[in-house]
Structure 1
Amino acid sequence: MLLVYYHIAALCSVVVLLAAPSLAQGSGDSALTSPCPSVFTYAPRGAEPGSWSGAATLSSDTLLTRMSLSIELDSPALGVFGKHNNWTGNATSQDFVQFMIDENDFKLDPEQSVMMHLVVQYDPVNTTPRLRTIRLNGKVICNAESLQALDKKSRAALNISVTLDECGVVAGGNARYPLIYNGQFYKRGEIPWLVVIYKLNRGVLQKICGGTLVSDLHVLTAAHCLQLRSWYVTPVQDITVKIGVHNLNDDYLTITRKLTARYVHEEYDPYTLENDILILTLDKSVRFTNYIRPACLWSGDTKLSRVVGATGIVAGWGRRSAEDTRGKLDEPQMVRAPIVSTSECRGSKAVFHQVTYNTTLCAGYRNGSGPCTGDSGGGLYLLEHGKWRLRGVVSLSLQNAWLSCDLNEYVVFTDTAQFLPWIRNIIGDKYIDDDYFSDPASNINRPGGQLQCGEVVMGAVPLLNAPTWEGQWPWHVPIYLSQTEGTKYLGGGTLVSHKHVITAAHSVTTKGSQRPVDKNRLTVYLGKHNLRTSVDGVQIRFVKQIFVHPNFNASTFSRDVAILELREPVTYSDWIRPACLWPDNEIDLKNVIGKKGSVVGWRYDENATLDEELHLVELPVVSQETCLRSYPQFFAKFTSNYTYCAGNRNGSSVCNGDSGGGMVFRMDGIWYLRGLVSLSLAKKGEFICDPSHYAVFTDLAKLLPWIYATVSDF
């Protein structure tokens, strides 16, 4: 199960302050020239070798309440130390090239500036690492690529600039690496898109699969790597991806990444392995080098007949042969694999009729060479028009007498060309380098090449307790129940993926029970702003399945959450976008106590009439103790570790009609879903709620494991 986190794009517009350029001379080094003199200056070098220092001027035209500063060098360093005002600390790094300084207790007012002093330490025997890029809260404020006078020859060879337009090309050109290998070891960098996927097992990282880097943020692999013969999916926090790895026992030049999301194909069957494909989203983008580059996705004609007879390559750390009992390799091997037609594959052995589909392909020489145990998820790459393109993902092979893979039979691959629309929906068109897709509706803003959850295209400032604008809350949806006398509005919900809406369980269950209403009677409207009018861009979806939390208590409203799986995926647009799920490393309620969350909805008035326009209210979260003391007779029954209270107690609050809607918080320009409107007190003898009391929200941060296990297409 996996999923969820996304990279944060900063909204701040950084103002660069002019400063005099400075040069620092090093012993035996050419002068260190600042790539952005208006932002960063080197300090004069001292006599001590192995370090240099400098200062970066940080400023913003908007208020910053948190700092995330990324310092990228052009070659590895031993460490980076930072200091500003009264703050000092060491930067963190996983690859010793990109360093991060995160400070939550930080404030920078508009038009003010902060001077960040940096000290970089390195091995003086090696080339001096130079500043390449600085990012403030995700925004590039200093970039070496913009300084044309920079001596490119002085950069370490492994740190050349590679763009996504150069996918599928190894350093030095593809002509260097002809298809001559068959079970032979190869050199580092010859297949720079091959990655290794690890699973945390009893505190130890265990290699489970290979995968293919297809962008600076995405890895494509087999779904069975995380979900095999079970509906249980390995949790996202248990997965680690290593990129640029060659020898499994040596992490030199290797980048390690955790995940923010995983996308198992919605029609994947963990028992038959049909639609065996999975996309992993890394928690941070990777920088391309000679040893880390993406493979190209397939382009053009996707018919299998187009590639039958073509020979591709497969690489991995699997067993040397079917009979080899010594286990997996420390270094990868490469084999050739010719593609055959599905009819030929099925004709070779009857069992292939049961494991091949119109979304698979077969390949191999049937001579004892090929991908084997440990190679699952790795790619089948074809050289097309001068670029290596990913055509298949290792899925399964037949079993031999040694209970290992039978390499005297064909190997079954997931045919990635048949999943291009699905892949496009997840990672964006930027990484598909042809005009295969031409749907103009899909050309929305995708930070970093993909659509970002929690982002709003419409930039208007919200007015509290007033109608909102179209597109301001693109994840909020109304849910209706069909009845003989018409349709009934049940409440709101929050879109969190292409096919999933989160809402309150009590909104979609029969009164006083855990039993869901008839799914065939539910309708969800996406991109809807005014309930009475119909406009272009609204999408209507029916419900395929209702998942009510198994521990939902209809009496106390504990764990009041349900997930609606839509029959068809929605198309994201300026008016339809998902909210981000809450970061699972910040689930403590104290992180939001005192902060205001935003809730929108179509509420009922005192005459039980539904307001036609979406309204916004902002409510501060209070502690459980404060909530209980305010009305112990009520809140003692309806609050728990899975709820929190919020409200102004001044007349503005959530009310009837808001049930199931989400409370979202804006962090660094991104909206995150924390809670669901669950219940509130009613005015005595009246239909409407009493805004002089707090409202109770389901705390989704405490229910993330269940959400991850239920939602499969983040």
Structure 2
Amino acid sequence: MGEKVVSYLWMLACILIATAGARDFDWNEAANEELSFTDCWTRSNPSKKSGFPKPVFNFEKENLSFKGCGNWYGKNDGKLAPWHVLLYRRFCPGVVLSDRTIITTNGNRCAYVLETFKETQEKITIFGGECADKRNEDTCYMFRGLLRQRVIIFPNHTHMVLFANLSEVIDVKKVVINIGSFYSQSIYLWEVDISLKFTPSLQPACLWNSGNENDHVTEKFYHTNVKVVKPNSRLSSDFLQEEKCFEDSTVKKWQCDLYGNSICTDFGSKIIATNRGSFLFIERRGRFYLRASIGMANEINNDILAWLDLVPYLRRIVAASANLAMMPEIPDLIKKRIDFGATQSFENCGRQPRRPRSRRETDDKAPAGGFIVGGRNAVKGHHPWHASMSRETNLGVNIPDFCGATLVTKTTLVTAAHCLVGNDGPRYNISELYVTLGMHSSLSENENSRQYFAVLDIVVHPNYTGGFINDIALIELDDEVEVTEFVRPICLWNSDHDLDKITNRTGTVVGWGHTSNQTYSDILQRAELKIVSYEECYDSKKLFFSVHLKPRGNFCAGFIHNNTGACKGDSGGGFSLYDREPDLHFLRGVVSLGRLRDVPWSSEKSCDPKFYALYTDVTTYMQWIVENSPGINKKSPLS
């Protein structure tokens, strides 16, 4: 009984000294209120009852978070669980997740390491894998070898420095995630810039790769020891139903919050004394998957432990980890679409002129634009909705064609928000901007097809905060365009919004972008690009698209196998699809983001045609476009 009191006092003291994540806690209320286990479970686990979706790391059969993860070679021969490492000798046990990431909890040992070294800047030694010399304490601790990598935390608490072989200094970063209501539920992710070299005794554990629906009924949970104490270095326990977990207990409200999203196990007294900073694993088909963690003071009673289920937080863990990626979630489809009526969004929109093509205008051997990698010269007048955005500074410097845009009414164009707004606000004064429509050759200023306009206003999507998410904006011209053979609005999308319905279809992008040899195209370029599924896009470059792909908000297109794609130089231009039945062109996307690559012997960046480019999906923003674009036809009022 005395030990139990000490345990609770220690837990209370730890929470009292913590500041992170405890702002909304009412101590007076918590001190006086007790809950039954039923009330506690209802309060702390509402989301758990409905389950969490299956995380997708890749589309291979085993769906592994890191290649080859979860293997425990010689696990029945008394070998160490190979994912365990120790930071700063006797203090902080962690688990390797990738060749660059180690996860620890804020158990008393790791919290002490973190706080101490924030202040002292002393070195943190990492031990992992098998010892080369078990008699040498400087290179071996708890049967683990020195990885010859050390960490220093600077006073600003934002960076660490990794010393490789005590000579080369390399920047690394530390990430702290508070994922519970209290400091006691925090985890730390440590990133190293020198990739760990994996051996049979040093392997990454897998992150959980399934949902949590009903898995507690059938799964067996394993606690793998940091130190080998006997030949079988893993202990197992069945999941305990909540009735057993809180049996004969009353739980104070502050304790209940601590046990939110819990997994309860009964390992007896075997790990109670050493559970701080521990992790819980599930074995499936010979691989071990990280499922839950323990911070401080998670003992309930009768040797029962409450573990924090990590499934709800996997996306945040992966996002903060180096060399780990997860497929972005695909939101439910917004099925409602705007009925523009028989005349489409604008009368006579989306029509190309019917003229014979000249040999010169369709020369397939023309140099490809860097934005339209692998493109060709466009036919004059065939993209009458495409506009060039330029800038003339107060000093008289002309900066032409810095972005593209697409005409949708006589006064409104759709473009990319990042063309006009940066992280610190507007990039340019509106008075400096002008728009050119009907241009085919950027050098032939006497083209009689051209129309020039000043910019009256810019409307940026309200959810745009910089970068490439919600990357869409509208430009209002100071006067109406004259609809001609060479200047005409495109039709707004009026079909099903589901991307699956147009996957593998080919769309068109045009522009005067940067060429592959770092020059600009004189003639408007065009390219035909294939729309790919969210899954194919993500799987092509997981680390890149796990960050930048936002299903329903944008989509991917290109031909990466024959080096045809979109990139820098003409962001904001339109991605159009042609429907043969009405013989019209429709705006489906806005050029948003392409990946760049270094150019040898140059400080410039060039387009990387081996990556798909991202296009803002206008169907997600259709109501906003219509509400902010005077002159659009609509059969019925917007609701």
Give the TM-score taking structure 1 as reference length.
0.36
For the pair shown, which has the larger CA radius of gyration, 1 or 2?
Answer: 2
User: Which fold has the larger relative contact order, with Cα–Cα distance below 8 Å and residues 6 or more apart in sequence?
Assistant: 2
Q: Select the structure that is richer in helix.
A: 2
